[in-house]
Amino acid sequence: MIPVQGLQGARVAVLGLGRSGLSAARALAAGGAVPLCWDDNPAARSKAEAEGLCVQDLHHPSAFEDIARLIVSPGIPHLYPTPNAIIATAQMAGVPVDNDIGLFFQSFATGAWASFDTAPRVVAITGSNGKSTTSALIHHILTEAGRDSQLAGNIGRGVLDIDPPEDGGVVVLELSSYQTDLARSLTPDVAVFTNLSPDHLDRHAGMGGYFAAKRRLFAEGGPDRAVIGVDEPEGRFLAGQLAEGPTDDRVIRISVAAKLAGPGWNIFARKGFLSEYRKGKQVASIDLRSVKGLPGAHNHQNACAAFAACRSLGLAPRVIEAAFHSFGGLPHRSQLIAEAGGVAYVNDSKATNVDSAVKALEAFQNIRWICGGLQKEGGLGPLNAVSGAVRKAYVIGREAAAFAVQLDAEAQVCGTMAQAVEAAIVDAEQGDTVLLAPAAASFDQYDSFEKRGDDFVAEVRARLGLDPVETV
């Protein structure tokens, strides 16, 4: 646990008692603060009370008298589309609003560091797509290289639940726009921006607000090194704002869309090869085509980001390359779950928006595509532009018919995962890939994209006669 510093003796309100809220309350108490916890869900309040935490109704008009700070869980809106009523009351009372990420950066460094040879460092990753894979890949590379590394934030452990870092330790944080938007302290040593595409637009009042939330990690965080994906205008703009000039190697530009020229520090992947250039000269190259855990251009972008972050931490290219080959990928993210009869079955349930589904479709050939769910803004046009490899789509979700009519590819309305998997297996031929890449949220049928992916895995394995962990 990372005990919260700077709030000893203070009364601190905690709104939302999920993983991050309970973690924050524990860390506040460990640091000598007095957490006052609330969640509108009675079961969540009961869980907090069972841990000995004080539960207090924050709806009460006097709730924010003598409160030093309000800590908010990421799922609770603080500005758009409408501020939560409790947050609005705190803001009217002049109480600062923060989250567990802000508490972490406020409390990470301790006096114990004075005896360390090498101060611990934080690598923070944000962006629209690829955050989880990039974060896990960086953590994997560091671990394989023998470096003390912990993975936290949106992936792994809660950020305040990690162990105090050891001498030279590295904490790898995946951070969403919800987290970077609200955190009062943001001071990573290395910050990574993977890419930007429309997502969570209602929460940020449009693309400008969404980008601004991501940008805070760099503009207010002041990292020593910034790894910036420059395949979108926002990334190019951000890199330009952070660099003092073309030769400023504090900014590492990455791309999978173009060969990056110039005198700075550039890393790009083209035709399956990752290249590192410094001062206009190539200094490293890696063949990514045989790295099974990183299929497709979108994963090659993740590889570039992870390579750049690890190079900035002093790792050699060949050490990173070896770790690439031992990386097994993440569940629900281009996850190969089975191979049978010459057909591959891939679970990319994390492809919850059109952009991430486009990247999944570009990674495979001869696709039997399972898609559909709670459609997001923007339409499905970009999917049709890359659907040439789709042999047939099998559409699930409550609005499967409306989803299907927007597709150029042949589409069968299935409704349920069970029906879609059965139909895809019946149709599949040797050389095909049955791919779950929904291009939509899961909440019309599932509690989360993980539950949706688990259902796909279970249906595939049941119909192939495999046990829950066996592959053939």
Annotated binding site for ATP: 127-133
Secondary structure of the chain as H, E, C letters: CCCCCCCCCCEEEEECCCHHHHHHHHHHHHCCCEEEEECCCHHHHHHHHHCCCEECCCCCCCCCCCCCEEEECCCCCCCCCCCCHHHHHHHHCCCCEECHHHHHHHHCCCHHHHHCCCCCEEEEEECCCCHHHHHHHHHHHHHHCCCCEEEEECCCECCCCCCCCCCCCEEEEECCHHHHHHCCCCCCCEEEECCCCCCCHHHHCCHHHHHHHHHHHHHCCCCCEEEEECCCHHHHHHHHHHCCCCCCCCEEEEECCCCCCCCCEEEEEECCEEEEEECCEEEEEEECCCCCCCCHHHHHHHHHHHHHHHHHCCCCHHHHHHHHHCCCCECCECEEEEEECCEEEEECCCCCCHHHHHHHHHCCCCEEEEECCECCCCCCHHHHHCHHHEEEEEEECCCHHHHHCCCCCCEEEEECHHHHHHHHHHHCCCCCEEEECCCCECCCCCCCHHHHHHHHHHHHHHHHCCCCCCCC
Q: Which residues are annotated as a binding site?
A: 127-133
CA gyration radius, the chain:
23
